Structure 1
Amino acid sequence: MKTTRSVQWLAAAILPLTFFGCKKDSIEAPVNTIEKSTITVQNVLQSKPLVESGTFQGTGSPLIMPGGSAVIRFSAAKGEALSFATMYGASNDLFFAPDNPGIQVYDASGMPIEGDVSNQIKLWDNGTRANQKPGATVNHPGVAESKNITEVTGNDAQGNGYLPASSLVKATLKYAGNSVFILTIQNTSGGTANETPLSPGVWAVSYIVGGNLLNPAPLFTKGQATANGLTSIAEAGDNVPLSNYISSITGIFTPLSPVLVVVYNGVDNPLFKLGENDRGQGLKDLAQKGDASVLASFLKGKTGIKAVYVLPAANSTVLLPMIGSTQGSTVSQEISFVKGDRLAIATMYGFSNDWFFATGTEGIDPLKKGDVSSAIGLYNNGTAIDQFPGAGITQFNLAGTPLAESSPITAVPNPNAFTTLPATKDIVKVTVQ
């Protein structure tokens, strides 16, 4: 992914999360406050463009021999696609892969696609070796050349003939529920003029943000030179170099919703309590949709609540993560307080079903200056069924409708059932000055 890509289209297109919290609500602290501080919240996540990636190989042996198969299990949101690459083993530098951005797994209405998707598989020439007649007698590695990646249709540049890729590799998609898919890749080349083993391969799924894939060509680009280790697959069936590269750009991408900040005194955490269900006061709207306005309105004027703020980021409303060398979004607010006051903070993990970052039972002492990020935890609101963060068909900010559940609020474990997250302090930084 080109890290120099402008992030402004992200800011403009971050889906419904961006529509909440554009108005700052506040209740001024009492006139007898004796202290002032500024609280600053920043999204410091070093984001990655790929939500998932991995490797695959044959059952029982690394090679996928004629008649054999391999399985890829992955999650995806609407608009996300699966890309993969595997070597045409009996060639100098050919590989099978879908064209970019990969195999689409939902139709236009958001329904999962199932069945034979072999017609999306193509045969490609890596452009780094002159092609000999494919078969067991091919000499590896062969004569070097320097050309761009091209699709092989019927004949290669040297005039060698090939059946359609869909006649040699069968790809079958099955929906396993809750945004999880299983793709089975079967070697059907046996007995044909192009009989070949398939090598161990690499697969990837890109995040989609505002209808645009962050990396629509994670493995290769047609018409450009091969890169990032693909040659090792195409020439030798070695998937390690490309896997290492893909792993390095796979991880977490999430915006944070407009930040709710509450100054309170003499009451417990006014937002939630671990082990209890959502109170029905508006935290659900924040955790599922990034809308802090409902909870902010509820808290106004309540006993012990001294001030309420909703802080949207400039230009983007949501707090975008770090993208390449571009710093993540920051919001700040001056607060007034007296000794004994506490601060509560909450913001949505934007690409989740109902996760939110928040202060715990003790809140934050505004008299404590400096980095107070250790007071922030990640919690599951218990009001929506969870899916892979950033790859869920029912995640609100990925154009979905959350599926309701009713469970107590819990801390999100790390690693969790879906992925391993960076430490909370490496996503949300909170300082008081």
Structure 2
Amino acid sequence: MNFIQKINRGLLVAILPLAFTACKKDQKDSSTAPTQQSTIIVENVLKSQPLVESGTFQGSGSPALILPGQATSIQFSAAKGEAISFATMYGWSNDLFFAPASPGIQVYDNSGNPIEGDVSAQIKLWDNGTRINQKPSANVSHPGTADVKNITEVNGTDAQGNSYLPASKLVKATLKYKGNSVFTLTLENTSGGTANETPLSPGVWSVSYIVGGTLQSPNPLYTAGQPTANGLTNIAEAGDNTPLAAYIESITGIFTPLSPVLVVVYNGIDNPIYKTGELDRNQGLTPLAQKGNADTLAAYLKGKPGIKAVYVLSAPNTKVLLPVIGSQPGGVVSQQLTIGQGDRIAIATMYGFSNDWFFATTGNGVDATQKGDISGSIQLYDDGTAINQFPGAGITQFNLAGTPLKESQPITAVPNPNTFTTLPGISNIIKVTLK
């Protein structure tokens, strides 16, 4: 099962909120000093993943089962439209498992309000299709007789006529909102004393990115009506979550577009875009860092002393620079520059799935006359103007249909690892070349 979906790039960007305006502004220096031509190339080289978060859960005993009367909790972040999925074995069966219907349990209502309370009704019981079902009980013989069928929901009775209570009577799921896009999902084994009493096995959970309203992994753990895959059988038959956990970890990571890129050529002044340790100058960096719109800052800088040229570079057709998605290459933009001795270059582009993070050249930019890969001069910064949330899973992130919550902090480098996650190296996200 391949969860990295083939995406029509044109359609994707047509619905992306991150459809920033593009402009191109060029004010040439009137100096008669010798000039030369150079080309700047900016690429999104991030190998994107479809899952924003994933993990495992288990009981507290040894073995780590969740016995009747016991519970376990999962903490996760999510943006509007994202959902949490999980899978755990109906322990006293041959190959049954509990999971919500894909894509998972929704955690916000249509208005973007967090959902709290009992969401047990969304849990279903599923037959993995790899074993003939015996009557569920502690006496089930494992592994049992092999079968080759697709995953199907068990709704009252299984294929062999064995009876089951609704899954919501056996597992209780409760959502609690902790604030700032963080939730806790508690799973309680409520099967004790019922005709379907059973332990629950260690399990796995996941949250898919949503891009332009489309989940990147709408069937993260299984697909109803299709054969089991990626290690789910180990959970359904033996309660072993190790193989499926390894698989979902391999497709969990970073997904972000880069906004149209601001490029500034200047001479005799400090970096005109920002300075670490200072508050945002209120000249247009905030719209770039929060919304990916560089036009305001570009317009402000044009014509200022020391500014020789200002450009905002948008990717053809898509405007934003999409990451590498499956076999599709990432977005790339380029611009020919007229430069002279003493000229410097600074760039800035938004980390699209953040609250106010932006990539920019460090310090006082780079020597405009140098050639080659200058990605080592790029750093990721926090503009300090919006409260941060898990990148790609924040309800107030502008490009995930949110409204940033204001704060006023100095501009600082984003640490890695940070409070939320560990990012790839900068050069594995953005590549900048001078030719």
TM interval, short-chain normalised: over 0.9
SS of the equivalent of 2:366 reads coil
Question: Which stretch of the first structure deviates more once superposed, 54-63 or 369-378?
Answer: 54-63
2:39 maps to 38
1:385 to partner: Cα distance: 0.2
What are the Cα deviations for residues 78-104 of structure 1, in whole angstroms up to 9, with x where unaligned? 000000000000000000000011000
1:48 maps to 49
Write the letter of the residue equivalent to 1:26.
Answer: D
1:58 maps to 59
Question: In the aligned structure 2, how far is the partner of 1:217 from the partner of 1:269?
Answer: 46
Question: In the aligned structure 1, how far is the partner of 2:97 from the partner of 2:346?
Answer: 54
1:309 maps to 311
1:363 to partner: Cα distance: 0.6
What are the Cα deviations for residues 11-50 of structure 1, in whole angstroms up to 9, with x where unaligned? 22221x21322x2222234363511100000000000000
1:133 maps to 135
Give the one of 171, 176, 179 matched to 1:177.
179
1:360 to partner: Cα distance: 1.3
Write the letter of the residue equivalent to 1:400.
Answer: G
2:24–2:310 CA contact under 8 A, matched in 1: no
Q: How does 1:329-344 map to 2 (within 5 A)?
A: 329-344=331-346
Structure 1 portions without partners, runs of 5+: none
1:196 maps to 198
1:285 maps to 287
SS of the equivalent of 1:124 reads strand
Question: In the aligned structure 1, how far is the partner of 2:230 from the partner of 2:361?
Answer: 41
1:46–1:322 CA contact under 8 A, matched in 2: yes
1:345 maps to 347
1:3–1:325 CA contact under 8 A, matched in 2: no
1:256 maps to 258
1:285 to partner: Cα distance: 0.6
2:26 maps to 26
Q: TM-score, normalised by structure 1?
A: 0.98
2:241 maps to 239
What are the Cα deviations for residues 35-68 of structure 1, in whole angstroms up to 9, with x where unaligned? 1100000000000000000000113441000001
Question: Which stretch of the first structure deviates more once superposed, 50-59 or 388-397?
Answer: 50-59
Write the letter of the residue equivalent to 2:249.
Answer: S
Question: In the aligned structure 2, how far is the partner of 1:364 from the partner of 1:319?
Answer: 22
1:29–1:337 CA contact under 8 A, matched in 2: no
Question: In the aligned structure 2, how far is the partner of 1:134 from the partner of 1:240?
Answer: 24
Write the letter of the residue equivalent to 1:11.
Answer: V
What are the Cα deviations for residues 328-351 of structure 1, in whole angstroms up to 9, with x where unaligned? 000000001111100000000000
1:91 maps to 93
1:115 to partner: Cα distance: 0.1
Question: In the aligned structure 1, how far is the partner of 2:173 from the partner of 2:367?
Answer: 57
Q: How does 1:133-152 map to 2 (within 5 A)?
A: 133-152=135-154
Question: In the aligned structure 2, how far is the partner of 1:409 from the partner of 1:266?
Answer: 23
Structure 2 portions without partners, runs of 5+: none
2:108 maps to 106
What are the Cα deviations for residues 219-256 of structure 1, in whole angstroms up to 9, with x where unaligned? 00000000000000000000010000000000000000
Question: In the aligned structure 2, how far is the partner of 1:8 from the partner of 1:335?
Answer: 29
1:121 maps to 123
Question: In the aligned structure 2, how far is the partner of 1:163 from the partner of 1:393?
Answer: 36
1:362 to partner: Cα distance: 2.6
Question: In the aligned structure 2, how far is the partner of 1:217 from the partner of 1:132?
Answer: 28
SS of the equivalent of 1:374 reads helix
1:2 to partner: Cα distance: 4.1
Question: In the aligned structure 2, how far is the partner of 1:163 from the partner of 1:396?
Answer: 43
SS of the equivalent of 1:19 reads coil
Question: In the aligned structure 1, how far is the partner of 2:310 from the partner of 2:319?
Answer: 18
1:256–1:320 CA contact under 8 A, matched in 2: yes
1:341–1:366 CA contact under 8 A, matched in 2: yes
Write the letter of the residue equivalent to 2:56.
Answer: T
Q: TM-score, normalised by structure 2?
A: 0.98
What are the Cα deviations for residues 281-314 of structure 1, in whole angstroms up to 9, with x where unaligned? 0001100000000000000111110000000111
What are the Cα deviations for residues 99-130 of structure 1, in whole angstroms up to 9, with x where unaligned? 01100000000000000000000000000000
Question: In the aligned structure 2, how far is the partner of 1:128 from the partner of 1:9?
Answer: 38
SS of the equivalent of 1:128 reads coil
- The root-mean-square deviation of aligned C-alpha atoms, in Å, is 0.9
